[in-house]
């Protein structure tokens, strides 16, 4: 065992001294995971995830300003005041999803109820952003209802408007029964608001504050929607990092398998393997030392990426499952490393063939493009790739909600794959150049 450890430590030391090898083993997979994690999460800046909106006020009234302020305060919108020309240019160049243009007469029209032209706004938008525009329309309607709610809940300011409106209805252009009903209703509404205003004044005198009780029309709203957070069962990744970290990890593992496979050929070419063979060692000790170094490097990589992934939400609910997935993956690719080392006679041949094989396996197994983007036949073909099973095992432990029942068969496949490759590799390994 001491000899195997000595060979293993030597290989780990050689890896640490090789800057390029170190980069592709540890830094590249991390950069891959972080880069694609950020790309698919839509960026790390919260403001970039909000809908960009330009606000244009062509009315310049107190009502239009209040309306635009209330829109700008909405969460989920990144609203900026702009001129009409500026807003049009921003939408045309894709800097804004839409421009909300408050039309002239917005304030005056808003004082009327159930008659005349309604206050108007225009939503100028990019036709390719229909989903976001539909969301914006919903937001605008909600704001309009909030305005109505505000009027009914402030009787003193609403009363003059109602009286003016009632007076205008007293002189109908023609005898129409529905206007007669409306006139009576506005009269009643005016009396109601007067009584509310008197009640508010009395309450303020008695309590030194406005009436908060009674509740009738106080804070009136057409519909109250409340949101309550509930942690859902995890049936999908919580973030893109839970996809990109296993994928990045697999690229790192592939790099480790390739470099250790090639290193065996380099040792044969440079004569160090001959020296090892001339020592009182068994062949299996030499290969076991190399395999152990490969195995430990893969485990170190898994550990590193999982630790760095934690702040990005990459964490297993059941860490033991992740440990099992990591061990099975390390075993599978250690076996594959031994197979790679027999693919050719020279370093160049093994490097070329090894990387070609690994790239195809990565492609088939979802290491480049997630399998759910692939056609059915590609997914079927992917079952031959250890990359697929490794990603499945890691994702199973991270976010697929696997238990031991689901994980163990996947680990079994990986162990069988690794053992098969190792046997072929050991059988076919060329000990000398000649």
Partner 1 sequence: MVEGLHFSYGERRAVDGLSLELRPGEILGLLGPNGAGKSTLMALLCGLLLPAAGRVRVLGGDPCDPRIRARLGLAPQELALYDELSARENLDFFGRIQGLRGTRLSGRCAAVLEETGLAGRARDRVGTFSGGMKRRLNLAVALLHEPALLLLDEATAGVDPQSRLALFELVENQRAAGRGVLYATHYMEEAQRLCDRVAIVDQGRLLALDTVPALLAAHGSSQLEAVRGSETLHVETRDPLADLARLQAAGPLDSFTLRQPDLEQVFLRLTGRHLRD
The distance of closest approach from Cβ of residue 342 to partner 1 in the complex, given in angstroms and rounded to an integer, is: 19
The distance of closest approach from Cβ of residue 295 to partner 1 in the complex, given in angstroms and rounded to an integer, is: 19
- Told to check if 280 binds partner 1 by CB under 8 A, we report yes
3-state SS assignment for residue 209: coil
User: Which positions ≥6 away from 348 have C-beta within 8 Å?
Assistant: none
Single residue of 62, 85, 175, 278 touching partner 1 by CB under 8 A: 278
The tally of CA atoms less than 13 A away on the side-chain side of residue 315 is: 6
- Told to check if 284 binds partner 1 by CB under 8 A, we report no
Stretch that binds partner 1, among 74-82, 86-94, 224-232, 426-434 (CB under 8 A): 426-434
Residue 19 φ/ψ, nearest 5 degrees: -65, -45
User: CA dist 295 to 265, 288, 333, Å?
Assistant: 18, 10, 8
Which residues between 241 and 270 bind partner 1 (CB under 8 A)?
270
Count of CB atoms within 10 A of residue 297's CB? 27
- Told to check if 7 binds partner 1 by CB under 8 A, we report yes
Nearer to partner 1, 16 or 210 (CB): 16
Give 99's strand partners: 54, 124
Give 64's strand partners: none
Stretch that binds partner 1, among 9-17, 123-131, 167-175, 341-349 (CB under 8 A): 9-17
Cβ–Cβ under 8 Å, residues 25 and 256: yes
The distance of closest approach from Cβ of residue 274 to partner 1 in the complex, given in angstroms and rounded to an integer, is: 6
The distance of closest approach from Cβ of residue 256 to partner 1 in the complex, given in angstroms and rounded to an integer, is: 17
Nearer to partner 1, 255 or 285 (CB): 285
Distance of alpha carbon 316 from alpha carbon 294, whole angstroms: 24
Single residue of 42, 118, 271, 403 touching partner 1 by CB under 8 A: 271
The distance of closest approach from Cβ of residue 383 to partner 1 in the complex, given in angstroms and rounded to an integer, is: 39
Cβ–Cβ under 8 Å, residues 399 and 236: yes
3-state SS assignment for residue 172: coil
Residue 249 φ/ψ, nearest 5 degrees: -60, -45
Single residue of 89, 113, 281, 416 touching partner 1 by CB under 8 A: 281
- Told to check if 277 binds partner 1 by CB under 8 A, we report yes
- Told to check if 20 binds partner 1 by CB under 8 A, we report no
Stretch that binds partner 1, among 7-15, 156-164, 173-181, 206-214 (CB under 8 A): 7-15
Residue closest to 98 by CA, chosen among 121, 65, 119, 116 = 121
Single residue of 49, 95, 191, 282 touching partner 1 by CB under 8 A: 282
3-state SS assignment for residue 43: coil
The distance of closest approach from Cβ of residue 276 to partner 1 in the complex, given in angstroms and rounded to an integer, is: 6
The distance of closest approach from Cβ of residue 277 to partner 1 in the complex, given in angstroms and rounded to an integer, is: 6
Q: Please tell me what DSSP assigns to residue 129.
A: G
Single residue of 60, 212, 272, 383 touching partner 1 by CB under 8 A: 272
Give the tokens for residue 334.
């250690």
- Told to check if 226 binds partner 1 by CB under 8 A, we report no
Q: What is the largest CA-CA distance in the chain?
A: 117
Binding site for partner 1 (CB under 8 A): 2-3, 6-7, 9-10, 13-14, 17-18, 270-272, 274-282, 431-432, 434
């Amino acid at each position: 065992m001491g000899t195997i450890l000595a060979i293993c430590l030597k290989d780990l030391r050689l890896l640490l001294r090789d800057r390029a090898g170190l980069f592709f083993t540890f830094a590249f997979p991390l950069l891959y995971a972080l880069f694609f994690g950020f790309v698919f999460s839509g960026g790390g800046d919260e403001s970039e995830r909000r809908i960009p909106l330009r606000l244009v006020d062509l009315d310049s009234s107190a009502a239009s300003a209040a309306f635009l302020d209330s829109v700008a305060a909405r969460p989920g919108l990144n609203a900026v005041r702009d001129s009409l020309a500026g807003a049009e240019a921003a939408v045309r160049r894709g800097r804004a999803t839409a421009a909300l243009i408050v039309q002239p007469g917005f304030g005056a029209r808003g004082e009327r109820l159930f008659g005349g032209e309604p206050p108007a706004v225009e939503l100028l938008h990019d036709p390719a952003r229909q989903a976001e525009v539909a969301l914006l329309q919903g937001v605008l309607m909600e704001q309009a209802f909030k305005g109505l709610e505000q009027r009914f809940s402030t009787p003193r300011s609403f009363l003059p408007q109602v009286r003016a409106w009632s007076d205008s209805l007293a002189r109908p252009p023609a005898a129409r029964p529905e206007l007669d009903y409306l006139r009576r209703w506005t009269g009643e509404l005016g009396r109601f608001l007067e009584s509310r205003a008197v009640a508010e004044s009395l309450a303020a005198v008695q309590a030194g504050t406005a009436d908060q009780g009674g509740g009738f029309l106080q804070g009136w709203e057409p519909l109250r929607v409340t949101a309550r957070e509930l942690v859902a069962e995890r049936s999908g990744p919580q973030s893109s990092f839970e996809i990109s970290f296993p994928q990045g990890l697999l690229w790192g593992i592939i790099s480790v398998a390739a470099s250790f496979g090639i290193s065996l050929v380099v040792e044969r070419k440079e004569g160090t393997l001959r020296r090892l063979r001339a020592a009182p060692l068994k062949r299996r000790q030499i290969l076991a030392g190399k395999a152990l170094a490969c195995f430990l490097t893969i485990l170190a990589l898994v550990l590193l990426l999982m630790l760095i992934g934690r702040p990005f939400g990459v964490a297993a609910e059941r860490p033991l499952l992740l440990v099992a997935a990591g061990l099975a993956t390390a075993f599978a690719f250690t076996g594959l490393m031994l197979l790679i080392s027999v693919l050719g006679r020279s370093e160049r041949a093994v490097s070329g063939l090894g990387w070609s094989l690994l790239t195809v396996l990565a492609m088939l197994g979802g290491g480049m493009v997630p399998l759910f983007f692939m056609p059915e036949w590609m997914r079927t073909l992917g079952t031959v790739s250890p990359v697929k099973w490794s990603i499945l095992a890691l994702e199973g432990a991270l976010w697929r909600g696997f238990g031991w029942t689901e994980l163990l068969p996947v680990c079994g496949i990986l162990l069988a794959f690794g053992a098969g490759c190792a046997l072929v590799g050991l059988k076919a390994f060329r000990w000398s150049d000649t």
